[in-house]
Structure 1
Amino acid sequence: MSGYELHFGCRIYHPENAKLTRENYAEINKRTRRNSFFSNRSIFKDMEIDEANECYWDMFKKYKLTDYFKEMENFLSYREKLKDGDYRKVELSLFIEQQISQRIKDEEWHNDLFFLNSLDPIKKEFGKKYKKILENNSIDDSCDDELKIKFQKYQQDLKRINEYGISDMLWLKSPALWKEWICDDSNNQGFEIPDDWFKEYAMRSAPYYTEEKCKSLQERALKNFDANMEYFKLLDSIKFNTEIETFLKEHPKFEFVDDLRKYKTTSGVYILILDEYKQIYIGITRSKNGAKGRIQSHWSNTMPLDRLIWGHESYSLLSIDSFKAYDTTRILFEPHPEFQEIAVDENGNPRKELFLGKMCNVWKIDEYLKTEEYELIQNSFSEEFLCNRCDGGGSSFIEAVISRKERRLPNNDK
């Protein structure tokens, strides 16, 4: 077959590597060494790893050190001015006022984003009640304990800010780079940051991670991998298949897929079933490449080392993008051809925007598919069988972080 095999109608060119193994998980190579949080990658795209990092270091050193010296000069000048008692009193009062104002805005923003915008009706109702408390700036006997605790913590934060002194103000106003150095080791003193520490700090945000950092990331990822594999062995196959059968009876619009080429332009909700691991993944697609393109992107994606663990290594789920094509043994799909991508460029191709250092498609935002994905993830299968890492239905990285799912893996207390 000319060097490839067909899997759900899709060409698999390297079938010998089309299943997940410990050997092909967390590999260290140019793609996996990429720093996922590095945004300006286009400058370094044609460079080798060492060349890109050295170029970045030269740029970082030039601009960051210049900025640091300016910030430190201004800070020391400001600290000198504070020796005047009257000036110090006015500045401290203004600083406290600004900090309180910012804390109030933070609480309102947090509530709006993480509660009022939630697809979970319980969280949304909590958000509405808490919004009233924030507006009235008080609680009464009708408030439940969770609301009271949240509001009391917020009030304690405001009280703590009200008690700030000069040392607090100077710490918060000091250059960020200097604070990083002090926090790194409490024995660090003075304002002279050593060159070796500065370079180590700079390379944390370089286009590619250092060999030492990659080995550390790999070690954590493999520890998490082993724990997940042990977890999968403990799952009940009969219960797993029973839940799938029950789901199909309750959701008759879903159909088994034998050939993804039938859905290469169709939007909708898809479910990947990984029978060997007793895991299920639920996703949505609005792409003009349809379910075929979206599912293939899971199979072909190479996860950077810094994205393998989502949270703590003792609780992190394996990403669906870590599994290979042959790990997917069954596919369910509910077509929704009415939902199509609308954000296109002048050539009719998907318009792209920068997201976490990667150019991503810009999708039409439709509440129906978002809500359906969320509902299915929340209610259709036991959490032990779901490998979705977040709640679903979200539209931002922040929402994904807030709704992160975890599981208690074997040996997680060791």
Structure 2
Amino acid sequence: MKLEKHSDFLYNRIRGDFMSKLSSIEREIQFLYNKHNKETKYPLDIEEVKFPLYIIKILNKTTKRTKLEAKKLKIFRNKILYELRLKSWHLQYVDEEEHKKKQKDRQQKIATNRDVKYKNDLTKIKHFGIWFDTNSNIKLNRETYAKIDKKVHLTVSPFFIEYYKNNPNERSKVYENEDCTLYSDSWCTQHKQNCLKNFDLNISFFEKIDNDKFNNALSTLLKRRKNFEQIFDINELDEIEGIYVLVLDNYKQIYIGQSKNMKQRILQHWRKNKEFDRLIFGKIETSVLSIDSFGCLDTTRIFILKTKTLWELDDAEKVLIDSINKKYILNRTAGGIHGNDRFTMLEIEVNKNKRNL
């Protein structure tokens, strides 16, 4: 009887210690669940959600604090897991590495099936391991650049909204409605002209860059970190954290970015079109073309640097961006730091009449 009470006491102690960490664990599990449903076309049964490895470590660490035998510890631990299932999570206790291996094999099988399906399809093209539709914007093109979109994507201050409500004549020059959610036709027409002027300025600027000097600058950049490696299939970067360098040889430009999932982030650059009202960043004469305006085929080389910590990720990106001449990079801002360096340099170029149309 005493042993039974003692066991109950220890169980409650284990349970209390573990449940104190439960709120953060539940948020992590909910994040994994939402992420899966967002990234896949089919809903995920909650029973398929896996225990991340660190949750398993917390369980092991919690139970090892007691002096009970391993067998009893396992019983207590399973009892806690059962309580978690009663909390509607219905989780499976599995190894994260095993789950990742199965997921990778499944993705490899899907990729193989796509290769067979699209191999003889003339409307598809494979680039860095990903299939793209040839009818989409796979390259930067002046004809498809700056398509008019009347929707307002920039944040409009409540102060200006109130001001425009009281001054409808001023508002009509920019916005079509009182809520300032749609641009006027006249503003869109003028903005498109400004975007095309900026486009031509950038293309003219790229053409003046010496190719050998660009490659030397790129080589110097890559030598700053020993672990830089060139990749030819971005499927290898799925859920891999690090720094990526996109090289656009035809324009003698590079883009440096960071992500906890480099494959997903690179695909966002290739598939996302920059919003119409965000095409110009700063002045018409000095705004840098957004990396999102370029197509997937404009990226000819990719280099990556794997990182382990968030601090290392931020620090490496800043150091790399600051180490290369700003005329070679498409980064509009350097992680919020030194974002105006290139603008100042381009203003000097404009003043020297080197970028005039």
TM range (shorter): 0.5 to 0.7
Contact in 2 for aligned 1:388/1:405 (Cα 8 Å): no
**Structure 1 residue 382: Cα displacement:** 1.5
SS of aligned partner of 1:224: helix
For the 8 Å contact 2:247–2:253, the answer to whether it is kept is yes
2:180 is the counterpart of 1:206: yes
Gaps of 5+ in 1: 40-63, 65-174, 182-192, 340-365
Select 1:319's aligned residue among 268, 285, 290: 290
Distance 2:167 2:249 in 1: 54
Residue 8, structure 1, aligned to residue 128, structure 2:
yes
Deviation at 1:195, TM superposition (A): 5.2
Q: CA deviation at 1:15?
A: 5.7
1:210: how far off? Answer: 2.3
For normalisation by structure 1, the TM-score amounts to 0.50
Structure 1 pair 309–371 and aligned structure 2 pair: CA distance change class (3 A): same
Partner of 2:315: 371
Rounded to whole Å, the distance in 2 between the matches of 1:210 and 1:179 is 17
Does the Cα contact within 8 Å between 2:175 and 2:182 map onto a contact in 1?
no
How far off is 1:197 after superposition? Answer: 4.6
The Cα RMSD (Å) is 3.0
Q: Is the 8 A contact 1:389 1:404 kept in 2?
A: no
Are the counterparts in 1 of residues 290 and 330 from structure 2 also a CA contact under 8 Å? yes
Quote the Cα distance in structure 1 between the aligned partners of 2:222 and 2:171: 57
CA distance in 2, matches of 1:176, 1:36: 15
Which residue number corresponds to residue 265 of structure 2?
294
Q: Which is bigger in relative contact order (C-alpha 8 A, separation at least 6)?
A: 1
Q: 2:206 aligns with which of 232, 254, 266?
A: 232
Aligned partner of 1:35 among 143, 148, 152: 152
Please state if 1:388 is matched with 2:331: yes
Deviation, structure 1 residue 316? 0.8
CA positional deviation for 1:249: 3.2
Identity %: 32
Contact 2:164/2:171, CA 8 A, preserved across alignment: no
Report the alpha carbon displacement of residue 293 of structure 1 after superposing the two structures with TM: 0.8
> Quick one: distance in 1 between partners of 2:204 and 2:329?
16
Cα distance, 1:237 vs structure 2: 0.3
Which residue of 1 is the match for residue 278 of structure 2? 307
CA drift at 1:208? 2.7
Amino acid at match of 1:291: M
Superposed, which structure 2 residues align to 1:90-101 within 5 Å?
none
Name the amino acid aligned to 2:127: H
C-alpha separation between the residues in 1 aligned to 2:247 and 2:172?
45
Distance 1:194 1:272, change over 3 A: closer
Q: State TM-score, norm by structure 2.
A: 0.57
Q: Report if aligned partners of 1:232, 1:277 keep a CA contact under 8 Å in 2.
A: yes
Query: For residues 217-253 of structure 1, what are the alpha-carbon distances to aligned partners after superposition, in whole Å with 9 as ceiling and x for unaligned?
Result: 1110100000111101110100111122233333221
- Residue 375 (structure 1) shift: 0.8
1:362 maps to none
Larger-gyration structure (1/2)? 2
**Contact residue 207 and residue 251 of structure 2 kept, 8 A:** yes
Pairing partner for 2:253 from 258, 261, 279: 279
Q: Which amino acid aligns with 2:249?
A: D
Asked whether the 8 Å contact 2:242–2:304 carries over to 1, the reply is yes
Offset of residue 268 of structure 1: 0.4
The separation in 2 between residues aligned to 1:196 and 1:221, in whole angstroms, is: 25
State whether residues 221 and 320 of structure 2, in contact with CA within 8 Å, keep that contact through their aligned partners in structure 1: no
CA distance in 1, matches of 2:161, 2:137: 44
Which ranges of 4 or more aligned residues in structure 1 deviate by more than 6 Å? Answer: 175-181
Q: Which runs of 5+ in 2 are unaligned?
A: 1-118
Q: What is the distance in 2 between the residues matched to 1:36 and 1:317?
A: 19
Counterpart residue type for residue 318 of structure 1: L
Counting only pairs closer than 5 Å after superposition, residues 11-410 of structure 1 correspond to structure 2 as 11-14=131-134, 17-28=137-148, 32-38=149-155, 196-197=169-170, 203=176, 206-286=180-260, 290-336=261-307, 338-339=308-309, 366-379=310-323, 381-392=324-335, 394=336, 403=340, 405-406=342-343, 407-408=346-347
SS in 1 for 2:244: strand
Paired residue type of 2:316:
E
Q: Structure 2 CA distance, aligned partners of 1:333 and 1:247?
A: 12
Report how many residues are paired.
230
Distance in 2 (alpha carbons) for counterparts of 1:209 and 1:196: 14
Task: Please state whether the residue corresponding to 2:232 is helix, strand or coil.
Answer: coil
- Name the SS for the 2:176 alignment partner: helix
- Preserved CA contact (<8 Å) 1:6 1:12: yes
Query: What is the CA-CA distance between 1:390 and the residue it aligns to?
Result: 1.2
- SS of 1:216 mapped into structure 2: helix
Farther off after superposition, 368-377 or 197-206: 197-206
Report the Cα distance in structure 2 between the residues aligned to 1:306 and 1:14, rounded to whole angstroms.
26
Q: For 1:176 and 1:27, how far apart are their aligned partners in 2? A: 26
The secondary structure found in structure 2 opposite 1:373 is: helix
